[in-house]
Amino acid sequence: MSADTQQTLVLIKPDAVQRGLIGPIITRLEARGLKIAAMKTLRMDGEMAARHYGAHKERPFFQGLVEFITSGPIVAMTLEGPNAVDVTRRTMGSTNPAEAAPGTIRGDLAVDVLHNLIHGSDSPETAAKETAFFFNPGEILDYTRSIEPWITES
């Protein structure tokens, strides 16, 4: 990985899975140039959800958030690329889809703050912790795409 290359953890949430939006969401992230280093489907249980969203445990929406994220299957992915953490969050759009810019995943495809389709790590440090929570090291693949020189300089 070159100096500015980062990994970030993305979850495609139960609303997106139920709405048939796995493909459209991955298409946007892949088209941006991000590389999928790991991907799987799973269903989070309450314990996993409470740990993943531990930073929010005092917030009034915490219980509803845990119920929602455990309500059905999700897709977990590790994405890699230049500034992958910020690039992914900008592609996602603001937390509240009602305020998210058109052209973003949330701004184009969602209207409600809880049902906002996608999670992305908020810093490289969080990304490392979240990636380790969802994937074993052996599940994260290190490979080169032949198109890489057409996406980045390095």
* Cβ atoms within 10 Å, residue 34: 23
Asked whether the beta carbons of 140 and 131 are under 8 A apart, the reply is yes
Rounded to a whole number of angstroms, the distance between the first and last alpha carbons of the chain is 10
SS3 content of the chain, % helix, strand, coil (to 5): 40, 20, 40
- Nearest-CA neighbor of 11 among 41, 31, 34, 37? 41
70 neighbors 45 (Cβ within 8 angstroms): yes
CB of 121 to ligand DAT, least distance (A): 8
Q: In the bound complex, what is the minimum distance in angstroms from residue 27's beta carbon to ligand DAT?
A: 20
61 binds, among Mg ion, ligand DAT, none (CB under 5 to 8 A by kind): ligand DAT
Q: Are 5 and 85 in contact (CB under 8 A)?
A: no
Q: Does 52 bind ligand DAT (CB under 6 A)?
A: no
Site for ligand DAT contains 95 (CB under 6 A)? yes
Span from 23-31, 38-46, 120-128, 140-148 in contact with Mg ion (CB under 5 A): 120-128
What is the size of the binding site for ligand DAT (CB under 6 A)? Answer: 9
Q: Looking at 36, 39, 113, 140, which residue binds ligand DAT (CB under 6 A)?
A: 113
Q: Cite the active site residues.
A: 119
| C-beta of 21 vs 141, nearer to ligand DAT | 21
Minimum distance from residue 144 beta carbon to Mg ion (Å): 30
123 is an interface residue for ligand DAT by CB under 6 A: no
Provide CB contacts within 8 A for 5, sequence distance 6+. Answer: 80, 81, 82, 84, 154
Positions in the binding site for Mg ion (CB under 5 A):
122
Binding positions for ligand DAT, rule: CB under 6 A: 56, 61, 65, 95, 113-114, 116, 119, 122
